[in-house]
Structure 1
Amino acid sequence: MFFYNSSTRAGSSGKLDASGNYVHMKDFPPGQFGNWGSIVSPGSGRLFFYNSNGGSAVAASGQLDATGNYVNLKDFPAGQFGQWTKIVPLGDGRLFFYNSSTRAGSSGKLDASGNYVHMKDFPPGQFGNWGDIVSPDSGRLFFYNSNGGSAVAASGQLDPTGNYVNLKDFPAGQFGTWSYIVG
């Protein structure tokens, strides 16, 4: 597990053992990490850091090794990534990006070296107005919006090449009103 404090930019790593006990591994001092608005793990100990930075998005990739040490893999140049309000890890290094203002999306993948490989862009308006997007398992996405009381939801899938396929639009009211959804 990776812990991050956005105020101090410090971090920590740890894990849960087989009995569910927390085992602290490493502390990283204040200022070691950048100013990040989102941090997700696309799998295999890799981390993807992102901040829309008020217009010119910045991002980086890193990895936690088996002993909890952090290794910076790549700092991406400002502007390489669009403006995203949600980043959803899908496993196998894959990431899904969503902008709630434009309802556009994008897919990509972090390789084992932390390099980003862009896969597909999805145009503005392709996706609905979603408050939550989670991946319950590798490749599938669950979209949800409480919509002021009459919740709406949908499911979809990203194939291994980053293409999106809509699977199901659920009728309004099928799901309750939830504050958080975890995949």
Structure 2
Amino acid sequence: MPTDAVATDKADIAAALRKGLRSLAKAVVVITCHHEGQRFAMTATAVSELSMDPPSMLICVNRSASLFAPLSEGADFCINILTARQLEISSLCAGREKGEARFAIGDWRCSPLGHAYLADAQASFFCRNVANTRFGTHGVFIGEVQAVLDLSPIDPLVYMDGRYGGFAAVSG
């Protein structure tokens, strides 16, 4: 890469990062939690597996999100991977609706562990909130996976370059 193409100013680096991340396809998830008698839900792509020993996941949540405060107070959470047919649920939980209205569409249930979860999600990871830190505009939360609900066949909703799509397998 030519040196004149490398961004060094923080604003330029942030803009280049945003642009570069548009090429990173990610499964769309809805993170949910139940706290003080209220359900919370948020669409996200900033989710990652962390460790298999112990089984754990990592989520990143903007401080301005309604989900941030309950997670900061230690609320356990569930990561629901959406299927390609659940675009409307993603839209509701991405800000089109607020509060309980985010649960208006879909087969939402409460697990024996107390997690709000989407029964027909591609997969759901039920997590105990075990650690968190703040960095910049976000909180990073680590959940130890307590249970997994996994459906087949695999057909996740994918987000890339500001657009939703499905996953097309390439044989090779």
Instruction: Report the TM range for the smaller structure's normalisation.
Output: under 0.3
TM-score by length of 2: 0.28
Q: Greater helix percent: which structure? A: 2
TM-score by length of 1: 0.27
Highest RCO, 1 vs 2 (Cα 8 Å, sep ≥ 6): 2
Q: Greater strand percent: which structure? A: 1
